[in-house]
């Protein structure tokens, strides 16, 4: 969670985080428009809170003290402007202090990594999730044989498992409900929304959902196990032109399907595009998706999602997005599949965002010249100049 009264500073911190953790989910909270968080705010559902000193009409140190009075509060990093503030923040127990106007990316990432590692170690000893040396999943998740744990944090875990009744391998995501006293939708509810969105769809290029289970304080989703790895690995190894074109068509077809039912992906990137054993594409990870019909007040104030390399210009500047933003991200991925290179690079995340807005669209190598017009239409800076629907990709091909 990032909370500060200046939008540019919230965006800068977001890009520091997503440059290193491309899958991070960030809630950017503006206390000047949304009001100060209530005294009962517990920080539940967050791994780290990045607290800026610009808290509207309130001293940032007062907010820091409010946060740190709660024993359940996750680690809090404070961003200030002077030595006296640093000493005060450290005295009250801030887990780290950084100079607001001179943030060292490496120092921030190193300290966050240390904190996340400590939290993961603590979580791994909890009673909710099994370790790799156990033979089952949590007792409430019946009917699945544990193979290995893939990931874990304080509130959720991901396993490779086997569905006993069907003798098939699945990816099992398990989440514990933790009270969320903010006004927005918490991680647990977002987890259930993810299932509901994907369960509505039956498409060969969207991951298949087998099962949902909900108890008083847990939920689990069993989904298709995709053994072919992700598109990021394929790009690194090199993709032949016919395969790149086929992958493009399959991804566009999946996007057309989700857009048709009112869902934006908003975090389309090679790591969220998986392959099956037969080399077909499956779009995954709708945890960052958002139904276009959901209102701002339902999803929370000021949330910013995504990965800088693949963000549309409007998303990178925290403007409203629609289906054309996903089309832009797909254009970036197509360029990378053909060339093996990122569309834009820079020394920091903000530099990449600026290039998405202002830099010219790169020219493809001559051997791919027949795709240049399509790339230009997908990567147009203004949404109205892009392809307007994902199914237009196949028409252009």
Write the CATH number for 213: 3.30.200.20
Q: Is 270 left (phi over 0), alpha (psi -120 to 50) or beta?
A: alpha
Instruction: Kindly state whether residues 174 and 250 are assigned to the same domain.
Output: no
Nearest in space to 333 (alpha carbons), one of 317, 310, 356:
310
Measure the CA–CA gap between 194 and 196, rounded to whole angstroms: 6
C-alpha R_g of the chain: 22
CA 107 vs CA 16, 28, 161: distances in Å: 11, 21, 38
State mean pLDDT over 218-242.
90
Measure the CA–CA gap between 355 and 91, rounded to whole angstroms: 41
The token duo for 373 is: 């017009």
Instruction: Kindly state whether residues 60 and 148 are assigned to the same domain.
Output: no
22 phi/psi in degrees, rounded to 5: -65, -20
Instruction: Report the range of poorest mean pLDDT among 149-158, 220-229, 325-334, 355-364.
Output: 149-158
- Strands 76-80 and 58-59: what pairing? unpaired
Assess if residue 130 is contained within a domain.
no
Instruction: Kindly state whether residues 149 and 254 are assigned to the same domain.
Output: no
Instruction: Kindly state whether residues 363 and 264 are assigned to the same domain.
Output: yes
Q: Is 170 left (phi over 0), alpha (psi -120 to 50) or beta?
A: beta
Residue 189: per-residue pLDDT = 67
pLDDT confidence tier of residue 138, bands split at 50, 70 and 90: low
Instruction: Kindly state whether residues 354 and 256 are assigned to the same domain.
Output: yes
The total number of residues shown for the chain amounts to: 397
Q: What angle do CA 283, 288, 290 make, to 5 degrees?
A: 95
Measure the CA–CA gap between 147 and 169, rounded to whole angstroms: 9
Nearest in space to 121 (alpha carbons), one of 76, 74, 160, 154:
154
Instruction: Kindly state whether residues 220 and 260 are assigned to the same domain.
Output: no
Provide the residue range defining the domain that includes 213: 144-224
Nearest in space to 343 (alpha carbons), one of 234, 237, 235, 255:
235
Q: Which of 267, 279, 285, 391 is catalytic?
A: 267
Does the structure show a pLDDT above 70 at 293? no
Q: What angle do CA 333, 336, 342 make, to 5 degrees?
A: 105
Assess if residue 136 is contained within a domain.
no
Residue 367 burial (10 A CB sphere; 0-12, 13-18, 19+)? exposed
CB contact at 8 A, 144 and 164: yes
Does the structure show a pLDDT above 60 at 254? yes
Task: State which of 119-123, 242-246, 285-289 shows the largest mean pLDDT.
Answer: 242-246
Please state the domain count of the chain.
3
Residue 267 annotated as catalytic: yes
Does the structure show a pLDDT above 80 at 185? no
The CATH number of the domain holding residue 16 is: 3.40.50.2300
Residue 117: per-residue pLDDT = 77
Instruction: Kindly state whether residues 180 and 320 are assigned to the same domain.
Output: no
Instruction: Kindly state whether residues 13 and 118 are assigned to the same domain.
Output: yes
Q: What is the pLDDT of residues 297-349, one digit of tens each?
A: 223 333 334 468 998 999 888 788 889 999 999 999 999 999 999 999 988 88
Residue 300: per-residue pLDDT = 34
């Amino acid at each position: 969670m990032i909370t500060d009264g200046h939008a540019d500073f919230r965006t800068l911190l977001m890009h520091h985080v997503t440059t290193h953790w491309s899958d991070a989910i960030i809630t950017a909270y503006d206390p000047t428009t949304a009001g100060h968080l209530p005294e009962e705010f517990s920080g539940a559902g967050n791994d780290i809170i990045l607290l800026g000193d610009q808290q509207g009409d309130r001293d940032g140190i007062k907010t820091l003290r409010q946060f740190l009075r709660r024993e359940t509060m996750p680690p809090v990093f404070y961003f200030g402007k002077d030595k006296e503030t640093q000493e005060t923040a450290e005295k009250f127990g801030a887990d780290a202090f950084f100079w607001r106007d001179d943030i060292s990316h490496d120092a921030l990432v190193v300290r966050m990594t240390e904190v996340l590692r400590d939290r993961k170690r603590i979580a791994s000893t909890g009673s909710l999730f099994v370790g790799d040396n156990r033979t089952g999943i949590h007792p409430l998740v019946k009917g699945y044989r544990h193979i290995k744990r893939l990931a874990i944090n304080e509130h959720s875990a991901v396993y490779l498992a086997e569905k006993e009744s069907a003798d098939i391998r699945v990816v099992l995501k398990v989440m514990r409900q933790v009270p969320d006293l903010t006004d927005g939708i918490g991680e647990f509810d977002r987890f259930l929304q993810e299932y509901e969105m994907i369960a509505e769809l039956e498409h060969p290029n969207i991951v298949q959902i087998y099962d949902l289970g909900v108890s008083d304080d847990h939920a689990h989703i069993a989904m298709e196990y995709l053994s072919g790895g992700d598109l990021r690995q394929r790009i690194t190894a090199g993709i032949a032109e016919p395969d790149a074109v086929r992958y493009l068509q399959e991804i566009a077809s999946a996007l057309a399907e989700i857009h048709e039912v009112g869902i934006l992906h908003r975090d389309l990137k090679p790591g969220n595009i998986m392959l099956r054993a037969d080399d077909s594409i499956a779009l995954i990870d709708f945890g960052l998706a958002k139904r276009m019909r959901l209102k701002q007040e339902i999803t929370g104030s000021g949330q910013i999602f995504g990965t800088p390399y693949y963000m549309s210009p409007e998303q990178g500047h925290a403007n409203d997005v629609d289906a054309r933003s996903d089309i832009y991200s797909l254009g970036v991925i197509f360029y990378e599949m053909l060339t093996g290179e990122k569309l834009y690079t820079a020394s920091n995340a903000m530099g990449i965002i600026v290039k998405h807005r202002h830099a010219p669209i790169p020219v493809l190598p001559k051997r791919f010249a027949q795709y240049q017009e399509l790339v230009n239409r997908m990567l147009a800076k203004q949404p109205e100049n892009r392809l307007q629907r994902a199914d237009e990709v196949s028409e252009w091909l």
